[in-house]
Chains A and B, each alone.
Chain A
Amino acid sequence: MLSSTQPKDDYQQDIIQAIKENDAKVFERLYVENFPKIASYIRKNNGNTTKAKDIFQEAMIALWKAVKTEKFTATNPTAIQGYLYTIAKNKWTDYLRSSTYKKESSTSIVMTNVSDDDVSIDDEEIYESQLKKAKDAFAQLGDDCRKLLSRFYFKRQSLQDIAIDVGLDAASVRNKKYRCMQRLRALAIPQKSEL
């Protein structure tokens, strides 16, 4: 661990639970504790802080996904740090080997098919492509919808709490959320089932 206080296994378990619940404070803590180390590694290996930021955020997303799908379990007190570090290193190695890096023309990093677990690539590809469409669609939504959906699904705020914050009643928020989701689905998913 990073400091003099040694975390216990249950500390890791608490963090894992908090990650599942999208706890903003835990994300912040993981970020500030782990980014400097990974940034330092990347800087020492032909990278810079901007690239380190992209790589580290990808590693955080990978951790978050693995935790959500129960593919990540903490086997020792530094499992989370170790996982982030390993993923970031692998992603950085992949990047250095990639044609993007060899051409060295753009500053942005395109990362595709970096497999962090043993899901078969085919399934993952289909899933990732659907997910990407949904993410693109989300980005196209209006501000109001994005904020509302983010509050409900990511921050896990109740309809009641959102209603208080935005100055509407809970029923209106509920209807609005439905309309926003409809819009998002329409943008994200090719016409298929009629239910």
Chain B
Amino acid sequence: MNMSQELYERIERYLLGQLEGVEKDQFESELAISEALRNAVEEQKIVIQAIEEASLRETMQEIHSRAFDEGNGKEKVYSLWQKPILKYGIAASLGILFLVGGYTLSRKRTNNQDLYASYFRPDPGLPTTMSTTQDFGFYEAMVTYKQGNYKQALEKWEGLLKTKPNNDTLNYFIGVAHLANEEDAEAITFLQWATAHEKSVFLSDAFYYLGLAYLKQDNTKKAIYFLEKSEHKSSEKLINELKEK
């Protein structure tokens, strides 16, 4: 049963295509005459495949929970295009709030840009399971967004916005993506649209990011005004810091 390390590594190099020239010829001629070697190669192949397959399954579980089961292990189904997202989104939204917030500052900051840099974290994005094909474009862009490719995500979302100019989700994420991309003026335009939807689950977050966008523009007064409308976990703390200045 025991196989020497040398042989094991030789078989492995053969299987990984790392044997070349004379070494490879030598190995293949040994293979031709030794059934034991052929069996050993076959066994090693199966074992490697088992490792890969088990790892792939594990990877898929991780992908699935990341993309589709976020929050309490319970699947959250968002449908962007069907009806306004109301109550059921709120729990997930709270989860998002929770992730975004929670940044503590131990010393007083005086500079708006420093404060902005300390508080701004892009919205972690939506865990999404969608049932209509129309949603794919949105979700595809969401994946890009989550990878930090804001520009690419924006191109897709802004394309979708043409057919759904009033959609709160789109306006919200386009706004946040612009902000993440350091385009605060654009961010303000879209976030303002997003805050026009009083029943949107994104309302509170939209106000928060709108406040941050104004902070980035050094407009402390407007920043405070919008932050006060937000129930975001970090907004109160940020308001206090701004008022203390």
Contact yes or no, B39 A31, CB < 8 A: no
Name which residue of chain B comes closest to A189, CB basis: B43
Q: How large is the interface on A (under 10, 10 to 19, 20 to 34, 35 or more residues)?
A: 35 or more
Q: Is B9 an interface residue (CB 8 A)?
A: yes
Partner of B143, one of A32, A139, A155: A32
B16, chain A: closest CB distance, angstroms: 9
Interface residues of B in 42-79 (CB under 8 A from A): 43-44, 46-60, 63-64, 67-68, 75
B60, chain A: closest CB distance, angstroms: 5
B45, chain A: closest CB distance, angstroms: 10
Contact yes or no, A138 B136, CB < 8 A: no
Instruction: Give Cα A39 to B69, complex, Å.
Output: 14
Contact yes or no, B60 A57, CB < 8 A: yes
Residues in B neighbouring A31, C-beta threshold 8 A? 60, 63-64, 67
Interface residues of B in 25-55 (CB under 8 A from A): 36-37, 39-40, 43-44, 46-55
Contact yes or no, A154 B137, CB < 8 A: no
Partner of A61, one of B50, B53, B129: B53
- Given A60-B60, A194-B1, A195-B40, the answer on whether A130 and B52 have CB atoms closer than 8 Å is no
Instruction: Give Cα A58 to B109, complex, Å.
Output: 54
Contact yes or no, A131 B64, CB < 8 A: no
Contact yes or no, B50 A137, CB < 8 A: yes
A-B contact pairs, 14 of them (CB 8 A): A3-B156, A22-B52, A27-B59, A32-B139, A33-B140, A36-B129, A40-B132, A134-B46, A137-B50, A138-B54, A154-B51, A181-B44, A185-B43, A189-B43
Contacts from B to A (Cβ < 8 Å): 1-5, 7-9, 36-37, 39-40, 43-44, 46-60, 63-64, 67-68, 75, 128-133, 135-137, 139-140, 143, 156, 159
Contacts from A to B (Cβ < 8 Å): 2-4, 22, 24, 27-29, 31-33, 35-37, 39-40, 43, 49, 53, 57, 60-61, 64-65, 127, 130-131, 134-135, 137-139, 146, 149-150, 153-155, 175, 178, 181-182, 184-186, 188-189, 191-195
